[in-house]
Chain A
Amino acid sequence: MEESYPEEYGPRWPDRRVEQMLGVLVCAVLALLLAMIVTVLLKGWPSFAHNGLAWFGPGGNVDDQLNAIFLSGQPGAEYIYTFHAWPLIWSTILITGGAVTIALFSALFVAVFIVEFAPEWMSNILQPVVRFLASVPSVIYGLLGVLVLVPFIGNHLVSEPQKASVAGIISLSGYSLLAAVVVLTVMIAPLMVSIFSDGLRAVRPGWLEGSLALGVNRWRTTWKIAVRTARPAIVAGTVLAVARAIGEAVMLAMISGSVGFSPNPADGLIFVFEPSRPLAPTIVKNIDQLSSPPANATLFAIATVLLFSAAMLSLVGWATRRAMRKYGATA
């Protein structure tokens, strides 16, 4: 075949054709994503349209509402769409916020440690450890949470009087905010560490040497120069971690308690032991209800909220990094 191809035809794969083919591929992927956004929004629209802004507000028992929505999907029945998602949103905020705050703090220290302060042998251990923790499937974290952490919290941390004080409203069995936050922190912190440490490594040595030459000690130099220069990477890592935390469905479905209940910080410290259920696990738990049209719309409405927050996060991250770029920071 090679010989029979006439030379004067030019190359068999002219650049323009290759460029067009790859361009079509790229456009196809972009179109698929656009289709996804449009589909999810359209499918979820009836739920938003019937509830208005009350969709995001509190009111009534979410689990009862979901059940009523599902049952109304039978042929001949009047569709019910009434849905007030505040307990689910509040649970998402609490769990994500808690986990990201703790993970941000610890990941920053660990990344600084790996890049600047750990002795060679220690960072040689820590790097694979971080990579391993980042790659453990979420369902394994969930399993360990259910079989180890949840019983521990239920049996040792929650006292009997505490359980009795809320009996009849909610049961404190260990499926709790605390368990969810702890496991989620372990899940997302390694992700942050790897992005943070890449950013810290990219800091120009000259800047650090300048600071050191002025007599600033290594600790101060790292925090004042390296960490500040690496802020875009820190934003990028945090955005990715928040996105992962908001979207985490299966692990949280396993250990958050799966009750549409909003833990109230005004109750005192007991609220960290209270169960709840964030938005994403609600979809997983009710996935069997897709066949009922109103339930279908409600689940897609939840997905729209998740998608919208993911998009907003990307946008905020992009804008922040853009604003920081003028300080000569790299990442």
Chain B
Amino acid sequence: MGAPVAAPPAAAPSPGGSPAHHGKAAVEGSATWRLTDRIGLAICWALGLLFCAIAVAIVVYLLVQGLKFLKPSMLVTPASAGFTQSESGGFSDALFGTLIVAVMGISLALPIGVGIAVWLVEYGRPAGLARLTESTIEAIAGIPSIVLALFGTVIFSSTALGFLSRTSGGVVFGRSFFAASTMLSLVALPLIVASTREGLGSIPRHVREASYAVGKTKAATTRRILLPASRPQIATGAMLGLGRIIGDTAIIVVLLGATQNFAPVGGAFPFNYLRGAGTTLTNFVYEASPTGNLNQPQKAYAAAFVLLLLVLALNAAVDVVHRRARKVGTWSS
């Protein structure tokens, strides 16, 4: 770690113009620093490289294991009972379950989150309620998802909501895609609210005033101008939320059931599946790991690899949105 201690070459302000960051404009070498300071910089480099190494190790290891064990047939065959790992099918139900949960969770969280953010930024009266909402939304981010899951069992086992899950003899089962998605949308909510608020907050006042001046109401301004303008931030928030929904395991284990297959309940087509128990990739990985009930590590690797690909795709999408938003520019330019 000795070599990289040399300071970066003085960065000339790049013509493309990412705003030249403070401190980087006038760079002094670290050669004149005291030894302790240079050791500190070396620690910086070491930890930075360690982070990169960990990320590379995770991706490469899962890539190798995933490619070794993942067969295309696993993506289309559901799990089944079997003695060996080659007999017990794939995880198509888990893959579809992840997609269902993601779509349902985000379609619940997005309108609510955007609505709360709009209220906070554009209306926000009475001020006390606004401050309470702000801190509550922040606090949701700190609530363990296992607690949300336990709360979900109480809500969805109540007889009033019995139509959302399997019911037998007056006892409500309380495990269904509806139950899991509803609680998962709470997990995504703080990210969407924070991101949308950031977007709305970055729009300068004069834009709103221009709209009011031509006779638009606040509501129309929000819908026609402010929300379209903050679309990149809303999209970012939605994708971050989606990542949390896809990656959550505790809520799935508690509220979707420990089966590895869809367990449709009576009813019209989409509802019989959504009311029934099911599984997702995270649940499958959990159960297929050596500490789970299935203990099929090879399949766990394969499913984890698919899950990682989904997460990487989401990350890439966030990057694309960011880059496109930056190209469009900001209000002040």
Binding site for B on A (CB under 8 A): 11, 13-15, 18-19, 22-23, 25-27, 29-30, 32-33, 36, 39-40, 43, 106, 109-110, 112-120, 122, 125-126, 128-133, 135-140, 142-144, 146-148, 186, 189-190, 193, 201, 203, 205, 208-209, 212, 217-223, 239-240, 243-244, 246-250, 253-255, 258, 280, 283-284, 287, 290, 299-300, 303, 306-307, 310-311, 313-314, 318
B289 engages A142 (CB within 8 Å): yes
With A247-B145, A310-B142 as contacts: A29 and B112 at CB distance below 8 Å: yes
In the complex, the answer to whether B146 meets A22 with C-beta atoms within 8 Å is no
CA distance A303 to B250 in the complex (A): 13
In the bound complex, residues from chain A placing their C-beta under 8 Å from that of B118 are 22
Seen from chain B, the residues whose Cβ lies within 8 Å of a Cβ on chain A are 7-9, 11, 21-24, 26-28, 30, 32-33, 37, 40-41, 43-45, 47-48, 50-52, 54-55, 58, 61-62, 112, 115-116, 118-120, 123, 125, 129, 132-133, 135-136, 138-148, 150-151, 153-154, 186, 189, 217-220, 222, 240, 243, 246-250, 253-254, 282, 285-286, 289-291, 297, 300-301, 304, 307-308, 311-312, 314-315, 318-319
Which residue, of B23, B119, B154, B253, has the highest number of chain A Cβ atoms within 10 A?
A: B23
- Contact (A147, B22) CB under 8 Å given A33-B136, A306-B146: no
CB atoms of B8 and A119 under 8 A apart: yes
Contact status B119-A26, CB under 8 Å: yes
**How far does the alpha carbon of A109 sit from the alpha carbon of B39 in the complex, in Å?**
12
Known: A217-B28, A314-B138, A314-B139. A22 touches B151 (CB 8 A): no
**Central interface residue in B32, B51, B189, B218, by most chain A CB within 10 Å:** B51
Cα–Cα distance between A222 and B7 once the two chains are bound (Å): 15
Minimal beta-carbon separation of B137 from chain A (angstroms): 8
Task: Evaluate contact between B47 and A40: CB separation under 8 angstroms.
Answer: no
> Complex Cα distance A244/B40, Å?
28
Residues of A within 8 A of B218 (CB): 15, 18
B146 touches A254 (CB 8 A): no
Question: How close is B102's CB to chain A, nearest CB, in angstroms?
Answer: 12
Q: From B247, which residue of chain A is reached at the shortest CB distance?
A: A137
Are B144 and A247 interface neighbours, CB within 8 A?
yes
Contact B291 A253 (CB under 8 A): yes
B51 touches A130 (CB 8 A): yes
A116 CA to B144 CA, complexed, in Å: 34
Assess the B144–A280 pair: CB atoms within 8 A.
yes
Across the interface, name the chain A residue whose C-beta is closest to B111.
A25
Closest 6 CB pairs of A and B: A247-B144, A137-B247, A205-B22, A243-B142, A119-B8, A113-B44
A220-B37 CB under 8 A given contacts A243-B141, A287-B253? yes
- Indicate which residue in B135, B220, B308, B315 contacts A314 across the interface (CB closer than 8 Å): B135
Task: Answer whether A140 and B23 are a contact pair too, CB < 8 Å, given A147-B290, A148-B61, A283-B150.
Answer: no
Candidates A18, A122, A140, A318; contact of B307 at CB < 8 Å: A140
Instruction: State A245–B307 Cα separation when bound (angstroms).
Output: 22
Q: Given that A110-B47, A110-B48, A112-B44 are known contacts, is A254 also in contact with B23, CB under 8 Å in the complex?
A: no
- Supposing A303-B147, A310-B144 touch, asked if A137 and B246 sit within 8 A by C-beta, the answer is yes
- Tell me the smallest distance from the CB of B34 to a CB of chain A, in Å: 8
Give Cα distance in the complex from A136 to B140, angstroms. 20
Question: Complex: how many Å from CA A144 to CA B151?
Answer: 30
The answer to whether B314 touches A217 (Cβ under 8 A) is: no
Contact A117 B254 (CB under 8 A): no
B140 touching A113 by the CB < 8 A rule? no
Are A33 and B140 in touch, CB under 8 angstroms? yes
Also in contact, A280 and B119, with CB within 8 A (given A212-B26, A217-B28): no
Asked if B44 and A143 sit within 8 Å, CB to CB, the answer is no
Is B144 within 8 A of A139, CB to CB? no
Cβ–Cβ contact A25 & B119, under 8 A: yes
Assess the A218–B151 pair: CB atoms within 8 A.
Answer: no
Q: Taking chain A's interface residues, is the majority helix, strand, or loop, or is none over half, making it mixed?
A: helix
Residues of B within 8 A of A11 (CB): 217, 219-220
Contacts of A248 in B (CB 8 A): 144
Q: Is the CB of B135 within 8 A of A39?
A: no
Residues on A with C-beta less than 8 A from B254 are: 284, 287
> Are the C-beta atoms of B150 and A40 separated by less than 8 Å?
yes
B300 / chain A contacts, CB cutoff of 8 Å: 143, 147
Bound Cα distance A247, B55 (Å) = 23
Complex Cα gap A36–B247 (Å) = 23
Nearest residue (CB) in B for A20 is B123
Provide the bound-state CA to CA distance between A110 and B43, in Å.
9
CA distance A18 to B222 in the complex (A): 11
Set of chain A residues within 8 Å of B58, measured between Cβ atoms: 133, 136, 140, 144
CA distance A321 to B196 in the complex (A): 23
Given A26-B119, A120-B8, A136-B311, A39:B138 Cβ within 8 A: no
State in angstroms the CA–CA spacing of A240 and B244 once bound together: 15
Indicate if the CB atoms of A117 and B123 lie closer than 8 Å.
Answer: no
Q: Report how far A131 CA is from B133 CA in the complex, Å.
A: 27
Q: Which residue of B8, B129, B141, B151 contacts A26 across the interface (Cβ within 8 Å)?
A: B129
Chosen A-B contacts, 23 in total, with CB atoms closer than 8 Å, are A27-B129, A39-B151, A39-B154, A40-B150, A106-B50, A113-B45, A113-B47, A116-B23, A135-B240, A135-B314, A136-B247, A136-B311, A139-B285, A148-B61, A218-B23, A219-B40, A222-B23, A250-B249, A280-B144, A284-B253, A299-B150, A307-B147, A311-B139
Closest partner residue, chain B, to A112 (CB atom): B44
Contacts of B22 in A (CB 8 A): 203, 205, 208-209
* A120-B8, A250-B253 known; A307+B247 contact, CB < 8 A: no
- Chain A residue at smallest Cβ distance from B43: A109
B119 touches A146 (CB 8 A): no
In the complex the two chains form, is A117's CB within 8 Å of B217's CB? no
Q: Which residues of B contact A307 (CB under 8 A)?
A: 143-144, 147
Q: How far is the CA of A32 from the CA of B148 in the complex (A)?
A: 11
The answer to whether A146 touches B144 (Cβ under 8 A) is no
Q: Give A196 Cβ to nearest chain B Cβ, in Å.
A: 13
